[in-house]
Amino acid sequence: MSVLLVTYDLKKPGQDYTDFLKVIRSYDYARLSESSYALNTTQSPSDVYNKLRPYMDANDHIYVINLKRPYSGYGPKEVNDWLEKNLPY
């Protein structure tokens, strides 16, 4: 398993991004911020990107990046606990 950071900027006002979020939330995940998620998966960054791309417009931005320890930060206890449990070294 690896942990991937999915961070995005969905720019089209009024666009329905429900299916985009359903794909993200189909993984074991922690929501890091309004538009950033950490996903625990065996898939590659390209695999996850290719699943999300059909639900985006041409002006939207997305990055899918491998995450690993060490890391620094502070947030909600449930996110901190998830990162401690899932982030590889």
d(CA 70, CA 4): 14
Q: What is the CATH number of the domain that holds 76?
A: 3.30.70.240
d(CA 56, CA 18): 11
Could you list the residue range(s) of the whole structural domain that residue 73 is in? Answer: 2-86
Q: Is residue 24 within 8 Å of 65, Cβ to Cβ?
A: no
State phi, psi for 63 to the nearest 5 degrees: -130, 140
Tell me how many domains the chain contains. Answer: 1
Q: What is the pLDDT of residues 20-54, one digit of tens each?
A: 999 999 999 999 999 999 999 999 999 999 999 99
User: Taking the model in full, what pTM does it have?
Assistant: 0.93
Q: Is residue 18 within 8 Å of 33, Cβ to Cβ?
A: no
55-74: average pLDDT: 94
